Chain A
Amino acid sequence: MSGVNRISGAGRLTPARTARFTFDGRTLTALEGDTVASALLSHDIHLVGRSFKYHRPRGILSAGAEEPNALLDVSRDAARRQPNVRATVQEVFDGMKVASQNRWPSLSFDVGSFNDFLSPFFAAGFYYKTFMWPKAAWHKLYEPFIRRAAGLGVTPTEPDPDHYASRYVHCDVLVVGAGVAGLAAALAAAKAGAKVIVCDEQGEVGGALHHDIGTVIDGKPGYGWAQQTGKALAAMDNVTLLTRTTAFGYYNHNFVALVERVTDHLAAVDETLPRERLWQVRAKKVILANGSIERHMVFANNDRPGIMLASAGRTYLNHFGVAVGKRVGIYTAHDSAYEAAFDLKRAGVAVPVIVDCRQKPGEAVLEEARNLGIEVLTGHSVVDTSGKLRVASISVARNGGGGQRKIAVDALLVSAGWTPSVHLFSQSRGKVKFDAATERFLPGIYAQECLSVGACNGTDDLQATIDEALAAGELAARAAGAKGGAQVALNGRNAFEWTGGMIGAAEGAGADKTVKAFIDFQHDVCAKDIRLAVREGMHSIEHIKRFTTNGMASDQGKLSNMHGLAIAAEALGKEIPAVGLTTFRQPYTPVTFGTIVSHSRGSLFDPARKTPMHAWEEAQGAEFEDVGNWKRAWFYPKAGETMHEAVARECKTVREVAGVFDASTLGKIEVVGPDAAKFLNLMYTNAWDNLKPGRCRYGIMLREDGFIYDDGVVGRLAEDRFHVTTTTGGAPRVLQHMEDYLQTEFPHLKVWLTSTTEQWAVIAVQGPKAREIIAPLVEGIDLSNEALPHMSVAEGRICGVPARLFRMSFTGELGFEVNVPADYGQAVWEAIWARAEPMGACAYGTETMHVLRAEKGYIIVGQDTDGTVTPDDAGLSWAVSRKKPDFVGIRGLKRPDLVRDGRKQLVGLLTKDPKVVLEEGAQIVADPNEPKPMTMLGHVTSAYWSPNCGRSIAMALVAGGRARLGQTLYVPMADRTIAVEVSDMVFFDKEGGRLNG
């Protein structure tokens, strides 16, 4: 049997199709199609959790996405466990495990509920005040306490084994919500020929028709009509119907994000299915048909398990076949709750009373109540409730005072009326307007191409909703360009017209400071807290919200916002519109990180860029370092070698024999056209007119403010063709920078830029034996010093494939950089290696490259410069042309601050103790005994152990550095002070003779 509260013949589930699940270890039977909430209620379980702050017993309040209370821990297996799942949304599947949260040791006996008695200490804003002093208590007492108490649920510790998918999709009309309004709008848009997407957060279409059984559309019961219409829509080629799909974010220019829950309701899951799918929809028109949410009544102790929204009580009965109690009272300010009483009564459930705080409910519902023999107390309020873990009775009194009458109930259905769901409208930046007559915010000024229809637009009448939705659907379709089709007409009628509604505290909420009349269940915010916030000086709703945390829980105030606003307005003595509504933000309901991350995890988190020689390097046991997205060979340790030993060996080998280095990641830009040299004149500080084809030059690129932006060697291949290199990390921004100037400042120049970074595999062969290594492999290029001197380039062939051969060096040794088309990179590398290895050469990585260049004082832009360094600061003023009339940065270089004395300049540093290697980033001072704060002269930019110098070396930016050559400065560290001598930056082969082998 699937539960004592299941009523035979009621609801739409099939009794024969059961599913078993556990709740706090107890095995229960549910029916297929049950939510966790309906299944628990079928077993008469109302108590499902403890509140956040006071640990009060809490039950299921709603039957939908707005649920603030029933947050449970749901797991499929050890790795698939999710906290804070709304029991009213999660469908039961066979084998699921459900556990309550925020209680210890058990749900029915919870030590934390002591907080409820301490509640005077937890008044609104308590965390801004209570934990202020003594200061010393913060770390030891307050913070650990708050951290333990904070948050609901327990975060999973296992990696998420599921996968998630993502799709971009375009449509003419997106319809959010598949209730009466959404289905009608979708039908009209689809029949008009538009490409339509319609989504609904529930498992089936129908929206409010799930509970509202009095509705007849097109002569059929509403729910049946909805299912039939949903099927018809799904069968149309131009319609995508998505159930279990929440539109959670409405962003700019009709970009709407949907999350489809694909497998969470399934017992057996096809592993290829994503758990959830993110739909990123760009719609020409959006129709918002997301309905309205029923509000609860605000009165003393209105949070006991068993007290729930009237529409939820109807949903459990009419859809799930579950009576929420055996003696169900009603407390309402709106006619709709009467229908809950009628449905329950007809199903054989005792309904002892309808308490209506209004003097004059709707005539029709009153009459029906009389016909069914239900007692109605108009002008009365529920002023208190009793019951420890479940409501046991309500106390009712006539408004304005008088004696209380206690009525026994085991459930109480409440309704204060309906709040139109303007969340997505507000997210779209639409401005809501307050309708004073009905006390609700409605869509006012639209900011995007969307239309609201039905309940979310404040349209109450069914036929009016249908007509409005049909018109909007057709209008949106035609506006989006749809031409075809038939017009749609539908008629509908309700059992009763509804009137009424209230916002704010009801009579039983009490004016005194101790009554707990809850507004926000999840954050335990009561009516008194809002009043307290106003007394403490909060006048803006945004401040009141943050002071009380009203509406800041994971349900985002779907039930509480309007009540909080009304109570604040009353306390402030202002009209509601003058207090203002908080702006709704994305997401509408919580979204998993998995969905947001989607495919971007593991190897697809970020592209791992690998060079053509990567596989060889990996096979050689290279360690890799990340440079931007590139994986670069860092060093090649031999068996048993530490990094330090490997780098030392590589450094020595390159200078003594030769080394082979993968320089493929270096940025490369082909600059082609008759005005190529003119363009480079403007982009670099150097002059390029006089560079002959076949020669190279080191170039510096500045920003307009005069600071170094990038550097690199530029080779001229022909009069109209340059091969420009950039730093590895700088390649994309240098190309962007060049394109910017070319397109917008110098568009008259006939020159074009193409990124060739990845066209070429670059193999640097450096060291005394470099020429000997490559010579036999090269065809058509004379490698002699005379024919191919330092800083030159030639085109020919190597290993039979076309090559650009640069004679250049970033090590100070005789060196070549072999550029071959990338797909040949590994083969050419292997051919070079086959010659290099027997000669005693090594493969070396980026760490050795860094040491070798530092031994020669070559800078690395971004390491030795930081965006505030001029060419002169870096000792590179020789590379700045004095003759050119213009180049980017020419004016910036003359700014007063850039030409003043005492700027930081790049110099070398030699530690007094040659064995001490400085830390990069360490600060430099002149007087180590100066009281703090000390005068800092600069910082270390590069520091290494130099195997070839047999000592440590460093580069540093030091104020007035070049005038300090020979001076002793100090580098204060945490544990000692290191004395250093300022030197020039060339530590090895000062004459530079080794460049020619």
Chain B
Amino acid sequence: MLLIYCPYCEEERSELEFRNGGDAHIARPTNMAEISDEEFEAYFFLRDNPKGVIFERWRHIHGCGRFFNAARDTVSDRFIATYRAGEPKPVLDAEPKTPATVETYEALEGAAQ
């Protein structure tokens, strides 16, 4: 169970108090009524699902109620940063290197791909 730092409560809390809200930094077009089908598709449907760092939204729904953003490594589930809604994406250090010697099957399988 994840431990998530809420930037409003300024404390780490159990995942049970939170709800994930999908990808972050996807702004709703201000001219929504006018955008093309392709723009709508990109805005509403298309997501990257990266292996590695993802910027995502969380809501501290059973806490302060606020939405905020997080940068999380989808492989290790490590939170690199959490920050308040409306704040820009933080600049992250270079992506962590994949460990050189890995012995579990999962890692071997990943390498084989």
Contact = CB atoms under 8 A, between A and B. Distances in A.
Do A and B interact directly, with beta carbons closer than 8 Å? yes
Interface of A: 168, 251-255, 282, 426, 429, 431-434, 441, 444-445, 447, 540-542, 577, 580-583, 704-705, 736, 739-740, 743-745, 747, 885-886, 890-892, 895-896
B44 A704 contact: yes
Contacts of B61: 736
B77 A891 contact: no
Given A432-B103, A581-B104, A744-B67, 17 more contacts: A168-B14, A253-B1, A253-B2, A253-B3, A253-B77, A431-B99, A444-B99, A540-B109, A583-B104, A704-B44, A739-B59, A740-B21, A744-B57, A747-B86, A890-B32, A890-B33, A895-B40
A400 B35 CA distance: 81
A584 to B, nearest CB: 9
A577 B66 CA distance: 47
A267 to B, nearest CB: 37
Contacts of B37: 895-896
B54 interface: no
Contacts of A441: 103
A581 B103 contact: yes
B33 A431 contact: no
B104 A432 contact: yes
Contact of A581 (B33, B59, B67, B105): B105
A551 to B, nearest CB: 12
**7 nearest interchain CB pairs?**
A253-B3, A580-B105, A255-B1, A743-B67, A745-B28, A445-B99, A580-B108
B102 interface: yes
Nearest to A447: B76
Contacts of B48: none
B85 interface: yes
B65 interface: yes
A361 B12 CA distance: 54
Interface in B46-69: 57, 59, 61, 65-67
Contacts, number: 91
| Interface-central residue, A429, A747, A885, A891, by most chain B CB under 10 Å | A891
A891 B29 CA distance: 10
B67 A740 contact: yes
B103 A431 contact: yes
Contacts of A705: 44
Interface size class of B (residues with CB under 8 A): 35 or more
Contacts of A251: 1
A744 B104 contact: no
Contacts of B59: 736, 739-740
B1 A431 contact: no
Given A431-B107, A740-B67, A444 B101 contact: yes
A168 B16 CA distance: 12
A744 B85 contact: yes
Nearest to B112: A540
B93 interface: no
Contact of B40 (A168, A580, A885, A892): A892
B81 to A, nearest CB: 15
A745 B85 CA distance: 10
Given A429-B76, A744-B67, A745-B28, A891 B35 contact: yes
Interface in B63-113: 65-67, 76-77, 85-86, 99, 101-109
A282 B12 CA distance: 11
Q: Please classify the interface of chain A as helix (H, G, I), strand (E, B), loop, or mixed, using the class held by over half of its residues.
A: mixed
Contacts of A254: 3
A740 B67 CA distance: 7
Nearest to A545: B105
A252 B77 contact: yes
B103 A444 contact: yes
22 contacts: A168-B14, A251-B1, A282-B14, A431-B107, A432-B103, A432-B104, A433-B101, A434-B103, A445-B99, A580-B103, A582-B105, A583-B105, A736-B61, A739-B65, A740-B21, A740-B59, A743-B66, A744-B57, A744-B85, A886-B33, A891-B32, A891-B40
Given A743-B85, A890-B33, A433 B103 contact: yes
A445 B102 contact: yes
A747 B27 CA distance: 13
A581 B85 CA distance: 42
Interface string B9-53: 000001100010100000110001101010010001000000000
Contacts of B107: 431
Contacts of B35: 891
A254 B99 CA distance: 21
A892 B44 contact: yes
Nearest to A253: B3
A743 B1 CA distance: 26
Nearest to A582: B105
Nearest to A254: B3
B104 A431 contact: yes
Contacts of B77: 252-253
Contacts of A429: 76
A445 B96 CA distance: 13
A705 B35 CA distance: 13
A581 B67 CA distance: 41
A743 B66 CA distance: 8
A447 B32 CA distance: 43
Contacts of B40: 891-892, 895
A702 B61 CA distance: 22
A431 B111 CA distance: 14
Contact of A583 (B21, B57, B99, B106): B106
Contacts of A704: 28, 44
A580 B104 contact: yes
A252 B4 CA distance: 11
A748 to B, nearest CB: 11
A212 to B, nearest CB: 30
B105 A540 contact: yes
B34 to A, nearest CB: 8
B1 A252 contact: yes
Contacts of A252: 1-3, 15, 77
Nearest to A743: B67
Contacts of A426: 104
Contacts of A444: 99, 101-103
B15 to A, nearest CB: 8
Contacts of B1: 251-253, 255
A161 to B, nearest CB: 29
Contacts of B104: 426, 431-432, 580-583
B20 to A, nearest CB: 12
A691 to B, nearest CB: 22
A892 B43 CA distance: 11
A448 to B, nearest CB: 9
Contacts of B99: 431, 444-445
A426 B104 CA distance: 9
Contacts of B105: 540-542, 580-583
B103 A255 contact: no
A744 B32 CA distance: 15
Contacts of B57: 744
B31 to A, nearest CB: 8
A150 to B, nearest CB: 27
B13 to A, nearest CB: 10
Contacts of A168: 14
A442 to B, nearest CB: 10
A407 to B, nearest CB: 40
A886 B101 contact: no
